[in-house]
A and B are shown apart, each in its own frame.
Chain A
Amino acid sequence: MNNPSAPAIRFEKVSRHFGDVKAVDQVDLEIGDGEFFSMLGPSGSGKTTCLRMIAGFDRPTSGSIHLYGKEVSSLPPYDRDVNTVFQDYALFPHMNVGDNIAYGLMVKKVAKEERQKRVDEMLELVQLSGFAGRKPSQLSGGQRQRVALARALINHPKVLLLDEPLGALDLKLRQQMQIELKSIQKRVGITFIFVTHDQEEAITMSDRIAVFSQGRIEQIGSPSDIYERPASAFVAGFVGTSNLVSGEVAKRIIGSDQTFSIRPEKIRLGSANDKPAADMLSLDGIIRDVVYLGLYTRYLVEVDGSVDLVVIEQNLKTTSMDVLSAKGQKVRLSWHKDHMSRLGG
């Protein structure tokens, strides 16, 4: 019945409408077996609705969802080989950690010894051995997060869904959990679908990313694709910061008034009489503002009296005194023509 060579998840023209609102609009999507796949987008972009439709908490208005080749669109959550780590963890407060993790096995009437054995394995996997007797209320946020992960993994789901699971943790813990999640995913070899609004998190962890906006997927690709070759102005702006250039200025640089984007760190600041190499594009401007940020400095450069470009340079040789005195100077901006991307539309 299940086809192991089929993609883990396939969306076929999936839509979900709430009244007049198209939360998800005609989405086609394929997620491969064993992939760490992120759904990235601002709130209300449809990423969580997609996740809920995979889990079975919500059903598509139209279209179909396939799990390893098997249509699951209308199956209830308990008949799908998919488990979820919830944003608020949703641990059962009246059960201890061990019973929480064993819940999936308990409702499937797995024998007690087997249950015990697998709970111990899971506790080891998430580095919580010895915590089985504690109540969720006695755990820290990070520990609850691990319990939720262990509880979702104990059934050996085909796909694990993670709904912004790191949102409630502080920065240090979040970075630690990112690394840990990734290594757990490698060890268990299960397809992970990770929903987040944090572009840095998505870039750090994912094999591939889908960028959502207004119920549609703007772009699907590897983190470097998404970052270096944004397909639309939305992606360029949402993932990292980007300079968008269009109209007259664009015409002067690339010969057409098509919009293009260039990342701030790809632009080189040179003195006004620098001669750029043949494969470089260049542009004159005046430094209007300088923000010293320790590791690097952010410049705001006015070009043509109308367009402002953000440029970031690392403070390799310069001190704060040097960079701050640059305000008002005339400069020549240059970048490699492969580093910019033309946007469709």
Chain B
Amino acid sequence: MPSSSSSTRPRATWGLTLAALGTLLFLHVPMWIIFLYTLTPDETTYTFPLPGFTTKWFGVALQRADLWRALTLSFQVASIATVAALILGTLAAAAVYRSNFFGRESISFLLVLPIALPGIVTGIALRTAIGGLDIPFSFWTIVIGHATFCVVVVYNNVLARFRRTSATMIEASMDLGANSFQTFRYVVLPNIATALLAGGMLAFALSFDEVIVTTFTAGQQTTLPIWIFSQLSRPRDRPVTNVVATIVILITFLPIFFAQKISADASDTEGETK
């Protein structure tokens, strides 16, 4: 048997290859269907093969003011929720990492809990709380709802990074004459920058396509996913919905793709220095 010098791992059997391929198709074919039917001239039905080919729905979608409003709102909510998550998540991670206080482990667990809870529970809890406090449902209540799970993502990323960096680095910086601000600016921030970027992108993507919590915390506002949901009852708009779905796939795909790439690169280089 010829031994391959480049790799010591055995090759996958054809059965395993087939299973992997099948899983990938199962996951991705529905998305291609969406993309395919953005190009159909037929408005209401999904016929195959396509009766023709047109790109007019992209134009139609761009003309729709309600769509633009929803897209802008989603963008604003995701941006603000992400910024809030970056600040709060980093502070929480720093507190849990640096100080050893009573109930630290419980706090850490409580911080991570919202992402493990079903969205519907978080949603109902938030609706009850916000309603009970007589706060009007608005743009800001959506942001608060989204921040609950965005904070977790940033917190986890930053805490993991803190745990991999040497604690004496901060002391070394202070020892060499840097005050707290300079230490944060020149030592802490560069070391957690990629974790912040990765966490932030993930948080943005999560917020951007969130439906359940938004349903409970929104007033009259319609975010993009909710707009798409409401389109289901309008069969004649189906190709427009498909166009929008394609856009959402792209907008969420890119940040997650880069976030993964950044985390992978960072863990490569960090491995050497430790």
Q: Give residues in A with beta carbon < 8 Å to B.
A: 55-57, 76-78, 82-84, 86-88, 90-94, 103-104, 106-108, 135-137, 151-152, 155
Question: Considering the chains assembled together, what is the distance between the CA atoms of A188 and B233 in angstroms?
Answer: 82
Question: Considering the chains assembled together, what is the distance between the CA atoms of A103 and B269 in angstroms?
Answer: 21
Are B178 and A107 within 8 A (Cβ)?
yes
Q: Does B191 contact A (CB under 8 A)?
A: yes
Q: Which of A93, A103, A106 contacts B270 (CB 8 A)?
A: A93
Are B272 and A137 within 8 A (Cβ)?
yes
Known A77-B175, A152-B175; further 15 A-B contacts with Cβ < 8 A: A56-B175, A78-B174, A78-B175, A78-B176, A78-B177, A82-B175, A83-B175, A83-B176, A84-B171, A87-B168, A90-B172, A92-B186, A92-B190, A103-B186, A107-B186
Q: Does B95 contact A (CB under 8 A)?
A: no
Are A94 and B191 within 8 A (Cβ)?
yes
Are B169 and A55 within 8 A (Cβ)?
no
Given the complex, which residues of B lie within 8 Å of A152, measured CB to CB?
A: 175-176
Q: Which residue of A lies closest to B189 (CB)?
A: A94
Q: Does B6 contact A (CB under 8 A)?
A: no
18 interchain pairs, CB-CB under 8 A: A56-B175, A57-B175, A76-B174, A76-B179, A77-B175, A78-B175, A88-B168, A90-B168, A91-B172, A92-B172, A92-B190, A93-B191, A94-B190, A107-B173, A107-B178, A136-B273, A137-B273, A155-B177
Q: Does B45 contact A (CB under 8 A)?
A: no
Question: Considering the chains assembled together, what is the distance between the CA atoms of A59 and B174 in angstroms?
Answer: 15
Question: Considering the chains assembled together, what is the distance between the CA atoms of A93 and B192 in angstroms?
Answer: 12
* Whole-angstrom distance between the Cβ of B34 and the nearest chain A Cβ: 42
Q: Nearest 6 CB-CB pairs, A to B?
A: A90-B172, A104-B176, A137-B272, A90-B168, A93-B273, A107-B178
Segment 150-209 of B: residues with Cβ below 8 Å from A: 165-166, 168-169, 171-179, 182, 186-187, 190-191
Question: Considering the chains assembled together, what is the distance between the CA atoms of A55 and B177 in angstroms?
Answer: 11
Question: Considering the chains assembled together, what is the distance between the CA atoms of A78 and B172 in angstroms?
Answer: 10
Are A107 and B273 within 8 A (Cβ)?
no
Are B273 and A104 within 8 A (Cβ)?
no
Question: Considering the chains assembled together, what is the distance between the CA atoms of A91 and B169 in angstroms?
Answer: 7
**Interface SS of B by simple majority:** helix
A88, A92, A135, A151: residue with the most chain B Cβ atoms closer than 10 Å: A92
* Whole-angstrom distance between the Cβ of B1 and the nearest chain A Cβ: 39
Q: Which residue of B lies closest to A103 (CB)?
A: B176
Given the complex, which residues of B lie within 8 Å of A78, measured CB to CB?
A: 174-179
Given the complex, which residues of B lie within 8 Å of A76, measured CB to CB?
A: 174, 179
Are A151 and B176 within 8 A (Cβ)?
yes
* Whole-angstrom distance between the Cβ of A157 and the nearest chain B Cβ: 9
Given the complex, which residues of B lie within 8 Å of A77, measured CB to CB?
A: 171, 174-175
* Whole-angstrom distance between the Cβ of A57 and the nearest chain B Cβ: 5
Question: Considering the chains assembled together, what is the distance between the CA atoms of A109 and B176 in angstroms?
Answer: 12
If the complex has contacts A55-B175, A107-B178, are A90 and B186 also in contact, measured as CB distance less than 8 A?
Answer: no
* Whole-angstrom distance between the Cβ of A315 and the nearest chain B Cβ: 45
Contact with A along B8-50 (1 / 0, CB 8 A): 0000000000000000000000000000000000000000000
Are B191 and A107 within 8 A (Cβ)?
no
* Whole-angstrom distance between the Cβ of B46 and the nearest chain A Cβ: 52
B168, B176, B177, B273: residue with the most chain A Cβ atoms closer than 10 Å: B176
* Whole-angstrom distance between the Cβ of A269 and the nearest chain B Cβ: 50
* Whole-angstrom distance between the Cβ of B223 and the nearest chain A Cβ: 38
If the complex has contacts A78-B179, A103-B186, A137-B273, are A90 and B174 also in contact, measured as CB distance less than 8 A?
Answer: no
Question: Considering the chains assembled together, what is the distance between the CA atoms of A90 and B173 in angstroms?
Answer: 9
* Whole-angstrom distance between the Cβ of B150 and the nearest chain A Cβ: 26
Given the complex, which residues of A lie within 8 Å of B173, measured CB to CB?
A: 92, 103, 107
Are A90 and B169 within 8 A (Cβ)?
yes
* Whole-angstrom distance between the Cβ of A321 and the nearest chain B Cβ: 52
Are A107 and B182 within 8 A (Cβ)?
yes
Q: Which residue of A lies closest to B182 (CB)?
A: A107
Q: Which of A56, A86, A135, A155 contacts B172 (CB 8 A)?
A: A86
Given the complex, which residues of B lie within 8 Å of A82, measured CB to CB?
A: 175
If the complex has contacts A83-B176, A137-B272, are A57 and B191 also in contact, measured as CB distance less than 8 A?
Answer: no
Given the complex, which residues of B lie within 8 Å of A92, measured CB to CB?
A: 169, 172-173, 186-187, 190
Contact with A along B256-267 (1 / 0, CB 8 A): 000000000000
Given the complex, which residues of B lie within 8 Å of A94, measured CB to CB?
A: 190-191
Question: Considering the chains assembled together, what is the distance between the CA atoms of A92 and B171 in angstroms?
Answer: 11
* Whole-angstrom distance between the Cβ of A82 and the nearest chain B Cβ: 8
If the complex has contacts A78-B175, A151-B176, are A86 and B168 also in contact, measured as CB distance less than 8 A?
Answer: yes
Question: Considering the chains assembled together, what is the distance between the CA atoms of A222 and B256 in angstroms?
Answer: 63
Question: Considering the chains assembled together, what is the distance between the CA atoms of A335 and B43 in angstroms?
Answer: 110
Question: Considering the chains assembled together, what is the distance between the CA atoms of A77 and B182 in angstroms?
Answer: 13
Are A84 and B172 within 8 A (Cβ)?
yes
Question: Considering the chains assembled together, what is the distance between the CA atoms of A78 and B177 in angstroms?
Answer: 4
B169, B177, B191: residue with the most chain A Cβ atoms closer than 10 Å: B177
Question: Considering the chains assembled together, what is the distance between the CA atoms of A76 and B171 in angstroms?
Answer: 11
If the complex has contacts A78-B179, A107-B176, A137-B269, are A86 and B171 also in contact, measured as CB distance less than 8 A?
Answer: yes
Q: Which residue of B lies closest to A94 (CB)?
A: B190
Question: Considering the chains assembled together, what is the distance between the CA atoms of A76 and B170 in angstroms?
Answer: 13
* Whole-angstrom distance between the Cβ of B43 and the nearest chain A Cβ: 55
Given the complex, which residues of A lie within 8 Å of B187, measured CB to CB?
A: 92
If the complex has contacts A137-B269, A137-B272, are A88 and B166 also in contact, measured as CB distance less than 8 A?
Answer: yes
Q: Which residue of A lies closest to B172 (CB)?
A: A90
Given the complex, which residues of B lie within 8 Å of A55, measured CB to CB?
A: 171, 175
Question: Considering the chains assembled together, what is the distance between the CA atoms of A82 and B175 in angstroms?
Answer: 7
Given the complex, which residues of B lie within 8 Å of A106, measured CB to CB?
A: 186
Given the complex, which residues of B lie within 8 Å of A108, measured CB to CB?
A: 177
Question: Considering the chains assembled together, what is the distance between the CA atoms of A56 and B187 in angstroms?
Answer: 19
